[in-house]
């Protein structure tokens, strides 16, 4: 299986396991800058040079050696399951993508037909009942993850712990897991520990939110989207995420972690 979703600087200063919807565009640009002294011109996910990626065949041997040797600093970044799945809904389901089309072709029309979801019209700009549609989307997410129907789960809403675990199960070990909600603090810890060709000043780094503007603006506070049933579904889907990354399952309004991540626990529970 190897190391899907794993990136590494060309200088081999650091290895990063990408988790979708968890500041991955910003982290990728920081890694690119740390090697080259400039940002990649475009979406870092489109870069085919300047950064080793598992998806690039020429990078795979280097990544395997670095990860399995466990001498290169390795980290990943996680996010509160409530805000992450909500972000996925607005970006991937309601939004028009960079290519001017809906995400994954016939996915949205199928959701409209099978689950009664509204996405704000053809351009995503009309008003609609966001809360009602999101809760129906959650049923779809549960079906994809629990039953793999009507399709396999998408990387943008499949559990963070699932992404993080493949790295461990195939012989890797993390030196750090940072929270999106405390990004500067965690990323600074990473940068303080590694040696890079170019120094990175986090205070001046822009946020590369490549999904921003794809979909309609969220009209309500996070907690309004989750009633008792929705919270139960989210816990059913993302139980391990809440447990190992220390998020508050009882209060969707609290996006901040409620404890410290225990790396030994992460490796023990996600390496099974």
pLDDT digits (tens, 9 = 90+) for 110-124: 999 999 999 887 776
Q: Where are the domains positioned within the chain?
A: 6-79+156-204, 82-155+216-238
70: left (phi over 0), alpha (psi -120 to 50) or beta: left
The two tokens of residue 152 are: 């396999």
> What order do you get walking across the sheet with 176-179 strand by strand?
51-53, 6-9, 14-17, 73-78, 176-179
The model carries a pTM of: 0.94
* pLDDT surpassing 80 at residue 125: no
Going by C-alpha positions, the residue among 178, 215, 184 that lies closest to residue 87 is: 215
User: pLDDT above 70 covers what percent of the chain?
Assistant: 98
What is the pLDDT, as a whole number, of residue 97? 81
- As a whole number of angstroms, the distance between CA 78 and CA 80 comes to 7
**Given this model, what pLDDT does residue 18 score?**
98
Query: If we measure between CA atoms, which residue out of 163, 120, 106, 114 comes closest to residue 140?
Result: 114
Q: Is the pLDDT of residue 26 over 90?
A: yes
C-alpha dist (Å) from residue 44 to 2, 17, 26, 188, 210 = 22, 14, 8, 20, 9
Alpha carbons 86 and 222: distance in angstroms, whole number: 8
Per-residue pLDDT reduced to its tens digit, 137-153:
999 999 999 999 998 99
In sequence order, what are the residues at sequence separation of 6 or more whose Cβ sits closer than 8 angstroms to the Cβ of residue 130? 216, 218, 219, 220, 225
How many angstroms separate the CA atoms of 239 and 50, rounded?
37
Q: Give the strand pairing for 6-9 and 51-53.
A: antiparallel
Residue 210: predicted pLDDT: 58
What are the φ and ψ backbone dihedral angles of 225, each rounded to 5 degrees? Answer: -80, -15
pLDDT value at 212 more than 60:
no
């Amino acid at each position: 299986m190897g190391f899907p979703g794993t990136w590494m600087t060309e200088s081999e200063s650091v290895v990063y396991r990408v988790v979708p919807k968890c500041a991955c565009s910003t982290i990728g640009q920081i890694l690119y800058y740390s090697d080259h002294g400039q940002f990649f011109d475009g979406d870092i996910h489109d870069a085919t040079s300047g950064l080793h990626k598992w998806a690039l065949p020429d990078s795979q041997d280097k990544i395997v050696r670095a990860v399995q040797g466990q001498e290169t600093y390795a980290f990943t970044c996680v996010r509160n399951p409530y805000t992450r799945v909500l972000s996925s809904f607005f970006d991937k389901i309601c939004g028009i993508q960079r290519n001017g089309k809906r995400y994954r072709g016939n996915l949205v029309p199928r959701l409209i037909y099978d689950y009664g979801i509204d996405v704000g019209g053809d351009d995503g700009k009309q008003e609609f009942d966001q809360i009602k549609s999101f809760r129906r989307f959650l049923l779809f997410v549960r079906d994809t993850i629990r039953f793999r129907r009507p399709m396999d789960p998408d990387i943008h809403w499949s559990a963070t712990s699932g992404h993080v675990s493949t790295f461990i199960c195939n012989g890797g070990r993390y030196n750090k897991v940072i929270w999106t909600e405390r990004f500067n603090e965690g990323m600074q810890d990473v940068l303080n520990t590694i040696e890079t060709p170019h120094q990175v000043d986090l205070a001046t780094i822009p946020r590369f939110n490549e999904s921003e503007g794809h979909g309609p603006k969220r009209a309500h506070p996070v907690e309004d989207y989750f009633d008792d049933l929705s919270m139960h579904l989210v816990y059913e889907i993302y139980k391990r995420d809440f447990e190992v990354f220390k998020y508050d399952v009882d209060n969707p309004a609290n996006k901040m972690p409620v404890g410290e991540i225990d790396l030994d626990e992460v490796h023990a529970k996600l390496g099974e």
